[in-house]
Homo-oligomer: A and B are copies of this chain.
Amino acid sequence: MADKITPQDEDYSRWYLDVIRDAELAESSPVRGSMIIRPYGYALWEAIQSGLDRRFKETGHVNAYFPLFIPMSFLEKEAEHVEGFAPELAVVTIGGGNTLEEPLVVRPTSETIIGHAYAKWIQSYRDLPLLINQWANVVRWEMRTRPFLRTTEFLWQEGHTAHATESDAVEETLRMLDVYCDFAENDAAIPVIKGLKSDREKFAGAVNSYTIEGMMGNGWALQMGTSHYLGTKFAEAFNINFLDQNNVNQFCHTTSWGISTRMVGAIIMAHGDDQGLRLPPVLAPIQVVIVPIWRKEGEKAPVMTMVERVRSALVDSGIRAKVDLREDQTPGFKFNDWEMRGVPVRVEIGPSDVQQESVVFARRDQLGKEGKTFGIPVAGVAEEAHALLNAIQSSLREQALRGREEKTHRVSSYEEFQTVLQEQGGFLHAHWAGTTEDEERIHDETKATLRCLPMGTEEGEGKCFLTGKATNKTAIFARAY
């Protein structure tokens, strides 16, 4: 910890980078726009992977792996797709010392190469639905990068499914949106808004793109996951067709959906405070850190004996617990250090705790005296820790939800929109009947983008805040990463 973390109010972007540096989540690499994910950041990603992968398998998906390289000609088969991705491609032109006849694109996403395989695998309605996910790295040549949020190379999962009918495919698209929502709210403790992307913001080649949008600590939006209904566009481009029950040849309806290492950025920004990270217990690589406290040499042995008892009780009950054994640092330093790293619960064990057969719990989500509980009996330490971890998980989500509600504003005119955005920021929710050009104008004039048309908020008819047209649709706008 060379420097102190910049306070959020002073410079939120600086705060974000400071936390990533001090908590050793990631660092820049000598390769432009690519980051190194350090062990603590990667452990968080492993927890995210595990929570998602379990849900994918529970909903009938299997994993597979497709090539990193895609022939350039494949991308060109779907016109909107190549138009969207062409400016961002990294291209291999030399292999084994020779110039390649056809350049190979490093995958920016895999609809095309997977579509080519699906065309071979799918012959009949009996082969459907085909439900496959891939964990992979992808590359998009980005001009302005920011660790986890936008990097040239990133890690993600991309689901690709094929179905016999539009309704099956749309159902899958929305099912996976719900899976993402469930993960975000229950594992990452981040409340999200599910909604439809506008044409301007949708995936290159999709019919409809759905998103989960979270609010970060500064009121900006972050797209945390997307699920796309691709219609028959890729099926037509790659000839993914099947014989239906009546022996009629039909194009498949396909979907794709993805969540990336960006989720790590979401967790940092949705929960972090001026002391650093605050990790949701479900995903925290270390859920409980135990800090032994002793001064005189004679105190050490009994303290360490109890530390080990508590550690093994926690680990045996399934808690990811770690003891801070450093002898060249004071307890005070360690408290700050683990608070900065976002560990949800700290257990303090000193000589007086040994005498009383009890320990002290300190919550990361409530710093200072209010967050401390004294006299937790050693006999019940695992049970109490589980209860506290559950409470912190809920509390973080509650805090994030309250923050979002406080920073969500209804507006009814463009003037109000601009004033509120400038003075308060956050999410601006309004009736909306604008066009792509209207969105672009708003973006140019205010830097806010249309995040989504939120689902499940039927509110009846109103007037579009920009055009005044009558509509029953609403949209959420915000500054976004």
Contacts and interface: CB of A to CB of B under 8 A. Distances in A.
Interface in A15-35: 27, 29-32, 34-35
Contacts of A97: 86-87, 89, 141
A31 B104 contact: yes
A1 interface: no
Interface string A140-164: 0111000000001101000000000
A91 B92 contact: yes
A66 interface: yes
B67 A43 contact: no
Contacts of A65: 36-37, 42, 45, 155
A260 to B, nearest CB: 13
A64 B36 contact: yes
Interface string A87-105: 1111111111100000110
A94 B99 CA distance: 13
Interface stretch (A69-77, A189-197, A288-296, A438-446): A69-77
Could you say how many copies of this chain the assembly holds? 2
A246 B41 CA distance: 33
B31 A71 contact: yes
A36 B90 CA distance: 21
Nearest to A142: B96
Nearest to A29: B67
B68 A29 contact: no
A69 B93 CA distance: 14
B63 A96 contact: no
A207 interface: no
Contact of A34 (B36, B67, B87, B96): B67
A88 B97 CA distance: 7
Contacts of A94: 89-91, 93, 103
B87 A91 contact: no
A45 B137 CA distance: 17
Contact of A37 (B32, B36, B39, B64): B64
A36 B141 CA distance: 25
A139 interface: yes
A103 B30 CA distance: 13
B66 A36 contact: yes
A304 to B, nearest CB: 20
Given A65-B155, A137-B68, A74 B104 contact: no
Given A43-B63, A66-B29, A36 B89 contact: no
Contact of A68 (B34, B45, B66, B71): B34
B141 A95 contact: yes
Nearest to A326: B126
A73 B69 CA distance: 23
A93 B91 contact: yes
A247 B311 CA distance: 35
A303 B207 CA distance: 45
Contacts of A68: 34, 106, 137, 139, 153
Interface in A239-271: none
Contact of A31 (B46, B69, B153): B69
A117 interface: yes
Contacts of A62: 39, 42-43
A113 interface: yes
Nearest to A134: B42
Nearest to A61: B39
Contacts of A155: 65
Given A68-B34, A96-B141, A63 B42 contact: yes
Q: Which of A43, A94, A136 has the most CB of B within 10 A?
A: A94
A240 B41 CA distance: 23
12 contacts: A30-B116, A34-B69, A36-B117, A38-B64, A42-B63, A65-B155, A68-B139, A87-B96, A91-B92, A91-B93, A93-B93, A137-B137
Q: Which 6 A-B pairs have CB atoms at the shortest separation, nearest pair first?
A: A96-B141, A34-B67, A39-B62, A91-B94, A37-B65, A31-B67
Interface of A: 27, 29-32, 34-39, 41-43, 45-46, 62-71, 74, 86-97, 103-104, 106, 113, 116-117, 132, 136-137, 139, 141-143, 152-153, 155
Given A31-B113, A42-B64, 9 more contacts: A29-B113, A30-B113, A42-B65, A67-B153, A87-B97, A89-B96, A90-B96, A91-B94, A96-B142
